[in-house]
Amino acid sequence: MAVPDSLPVIVNSAAAAVLFVAGIAKAVSPGQLGRSLNDLVRLPGRGITARHVRVFAAVELLTALALTAAATQPAAAWAVGLLGAAFALAGALGMLRGGGTACGCFGGSADRPLGPVNIAVGVLLMAVPAVNLTPVSGAASAYFFQAATGLAGGALLLCLWVHRGLIKDFTRPLPASR
C-alpha cells in the first residue's frame, strides 16, 4: 500500500478508535455526560437524560464500525465530521458558560469538564471527511482488515492512556505486610 493510500486507513482507524471508546463510555455510564450537559444547556422537561446520551453513544459506535468498511466509509466519514462538530460545540459551550461538572468524555475518569480538549478532538474529527474524498483503492477486504486492526489497536492504546493512573496503581508493588 502506497503512502497516500495508507492515509485514510490511519486517519479512519484513529477516528474510529476515539469514537468507539467514547461511545462505550457513554453507553456504560451516561449519567456523567448528561449532568455535564444539563449544567450547560437548560432544556424543558427532564433535560438531557441517560436515554439521550445512550442514543448518541449508539450513533458513535455505529459510525466507528461503519468507518472500517469500504462500502460505508464515505457516509461514515461525513458522520464523523458531524460528530466532531458536536464535540467542538459542547467544548465551546463548556468554555463559554463555565461548566464545572466532569463530562467523562472519551472514556476518561478524570474530573475535567467540557472544554478545550473537546474542541481539539472535535476539530480533528471534522477533518476526517476531507481525507476520505477519494474512494478506497484496492480490495475492500484489505481495507476492512487494516482499518479494523487499526480500530482495535487504537482503542487499546487510547484506553491505556486514559486509564494510565489505574494501571500505575495496579502495577505498583504492594507495601510489605508486617
pLDDT band at 13 (very low <50, low <70, confident <90, very high): confident
Please give the average per-residue pLDDT across 146-164, as a whole number. 75
Q: Position 73: which residue type? A: Q
pLDDT digits (tens, 9 = 90+) for 44-71: 888 889 999 999 999 999 999 898 888 8
What are the domain boundaries of the chain?
3-132+139-171
CA separation for the pair 155, 145 (Å, rounded):
15
Residue 1: per-residue pLDDT: 45
Confidence check: pLDDT of 166 > 70: no
**Segment 99-138, tens digit of pLDDT:** 777 777 776 655 678 889 899 999 999 999 998 887 666 6
| pLDDT above 60 for 177 | no
Q: What is the pLDDT of residue 167?
A: 65
116 SS3 class: helix
Q: Between the CA atoms of 97, 102, 59 and 150, what dihedral angle is there, to the nearest 10 degrees?
A: 120
Separation of first and last alpha carbons in the chain? 59
Planar angle of CA 5, 88, 70, nearest 5 degrees: 25
Inform me whether the pLDDT recorded for 3 exceeds 50.
no
Written as nine digits, the cell of 27 is 453507553
Q: What is the pLDDT of residues 83-96, one digit of tens each?
A: 999 999 989 998 89
Q: Are 34 and 50 in contact (CB under 8 A)?
A: yes
- The alpha carbon of residue 92 and the mean position of all alpha carbons in its chain are separated, in whole angstroms, by 17
